[in-house]
Structure 1
Amino acid sequence: MTPPRRPLLPPFQAALLDLDGLVLDSEASYRHAWQAAAREAGATLPEAFCRGLFGQHADAVAAALREALGPSFDQDRFCRAAERHWRRHLAQHGLAPMPGLDRLLAACRRHAIPYALATNSDAPYARECLELAGLAGEFPVMVTRDQVRHGKPAPDLFLEAARRLGIPPALCLGLEDSAPGLEAARAAGTIVVLVQRRGALRRRLRPLAQFACASLNEVAAWLEASAAFR
């Protein structure tokens, strides 16, 4: 008789999820908006540069853009143009949940594992994006950048999310897709799980995480396997 498969995850009691690139497939819309706004300003933003902005708070994004675009960078004009292009992109293409999100959240509910959102986005923006993706009300516990003192890569968002759930951070999965998020999850003392579909990026970020996979479907399978041994 084949012995039961050993759970892949250590004991945990909750899951803390990032928003952009983890819950929502939003990276393409941001990249399009930044690059289109840069073209209006007579500049070019390489794709690799845009990828480096993912997971950063708006203030950090603005600082990186200012450095890349030089002294002529007009932040207000750029932001207005980027938002216009972002909304136009969403009107054409929509905003979808990442593959496996529904399966993961269903597994959490089925096994009474509480979960929360911990995002570097501010609350109004996070709520709007969730609504656009058909996920309004899906995260009763949501901690946003404007609710804590420091954003990622500081641990504040994860610590506050764990506090609101009433679970020690060491017993929480910290699910992230970017370097700032992984650093925040590590600093908070969570069980750090990298979920990144791009193989090259996943390999580069792997040292920052305890576990790594390509999609939330894999996390859901791990959760199911671990729950069987709880």
Structure 2
Amino acid sequence: MPSMQQLASVRGVIFDMDGLLLDTERLFKKAYQRSASQHGIVLKDSVYDMMIGLRSDASQRILREQLGPDAPSAAIIEGARHYYYMQIEEEGIPLRPGVREMFDYLDELDFPRAVATSTHHKLATLKLRSVGLLDRVVGIVSGDQVAHGKPAPDIYLAAAKLIGIPPEECLALEDSPPGVIAARKANCVTIMVPDLQAPNAVTRSMANFIYESLHDVALALKGARAIPSS
């Protein structure tokens, strides 16, 4: 059973990015569905849900498998990128609730933090810079920098090494099943903050905690650190 003592033992934090820090999964989903519709295809929510949290090679493979060999998958992917970047340029990148509060509290604790994202490093850097978070992390470990993407633990092991904290003393924050699995395989204390996907049997069994927002995570950390050690 998870205990608040697990949170009290944390000395560093590793964040997922899309869907956890940045409210971008909805934008990408909208872009994919808009692109598919241009080719007369209805991209079901259930198909996009399977793609969340994975590296682009894995997510695009799922898209091709689900749409079948006759679908213009390459054109849909390219169109989705176009619409996604267009939305970001027009609307900016919104943050998920509680992000600033969480970072401010970690500043108080002087906790090192990193981002572990399936997104390509160059794009992840641009996104985090645009919302003012790039200078507030030690660095980024991206999907293109590790041998195996989520749900393999590689990205979290690398992020823990980057901030110089043993994985078991790192808090990993994730919104997707592949990310939750990756973080737990790396032996991080894992919290799921659901976005588009509600917790399922797998994520409920693997996440140490599930909270509704980063605001709730910050409150939980504060509460855990206020408990006297036995």
Q: How far apart in 2 are the matches of 1:36 and 1:121? A: 21
The answer as to 2:209 corresponding to 1:211 is yes
Q: Distance in 1 between the 2:62 and 2:48 partners?
A: 10
3-state SS of 2:199 partner: helix
Question: Which residue identity lines up with residue 201 of structure 1 in the other structure?
Answer: A
Give 2:93's aligned residue.
95
8 Å contact 1:107–1:223 — kept in the other structure? no
Distance (whole Å) between structure 2 residues aligned to residue 86 and residue 164 of structure 1: 30
Q: In structure 2, what is the Cα distance between the partners aligned to 1:184 and 1:143?
A: 13
Deviation at 1:9, TM superposition (A): 2.3
Q: CA RMSD in A?
A: 2.0
Give the structure 2 partner of residue 174 of structure 1: 172
Determine helix, strand or coil for the equivalent of 1:20.
coil
TM-score with structure 2 length normalisation?
A: 0.90
Q: What does 1:183-222 align with in structure 2 at a 5 Å threshold? A: 183-197=181-195, 201-202=198-199, 204=201, 205-222=203-220
Give, as a single letter, the amino acid of the residue that structure 2 aligns with 1:150: H
Residue identity opposite 2:44 in structure 1: P
C-alpha distance in 2, partners of 1:26/1:83? Answer: 13
Contact kept? 1:111, 1:227, Cα under 8 Å: no
**Structure 1 stretches lacking a partner, 5+ long:** 1-5
**Following superposition of structure 1 onto structure 2, how do residues 49-128 of structure 1 map, counting pairs within 5 Å?**
49-128=47-126
Tell me how far apart the structure 1 counterparts of residues 177 and 123 of structure 2 sit (CA, whole Å): 21
* Cα distance in 2, alignment partners of residues 192 and 38 from structure 1: 34
C-alpha distance in 2 between matches for 1:85 and 1:159? 33
Q: Secondary structure at the match of 2:122?
A: helix
Instruction: Report the TM-score, using the length of structure 1 for normalisation.
Output: 0.90
Identity within the alignment, %: 33
Q: Over residues 77-105 of structure 1, what are the superposed CA-to-partner deviations in whole Å (9 max), with x where a residue is unaligned? A: 22221111112222343211111111111
The answer to whether the 8 Å contact 1:179/1:208 transfers is: no
What letter corresponds to residue 18 of structure 2 in structure 1? D
Counterpart in the other structure of 1:39: 37
Distance change in 2, residues 1:151/1:35 (3 Å): same
Matches within 5 A, 1:129-144: 129-144=127-142
Q: Distance in 2 between matches of 1:8 and 1:184?
A: 18
Cα deviation, residue 203, structure 1: 5.5
Unmatched segments (≥5 aa) in structure 2? none
Question: Following TM superposition, by how much is the alpha carbon of 1:21 offset from its aligned partner in structure 2, in angstroms?
Answer: 0.6
**3-state DSSP of counterpart to 1:137:** helix
What displacement does 1:7 show?
6.2
Distance in 2 (CA, whole Å) between partners of 1:33 and 1:22 is 19
**Cα distance change, pair 197–185 in 1 and its aligned pair in 2 (3 A):** same
Q: 1: CA distance between counterparts of 2:52 and 2:154?
A: 18
**3-state SS of paired residue (1:157):** helix
What SS does the aligned partner of 2:13 have? strand
Cα distance, 1:197–1:70 mapped onto 2, change above 3 Å: closer
Q: Deviations over 1:128-170 (max 9, x none)?
A: 2223434342323211111111110000010011111111101
Number of equivalences: 224
**1:214 positional shift:** 0.3
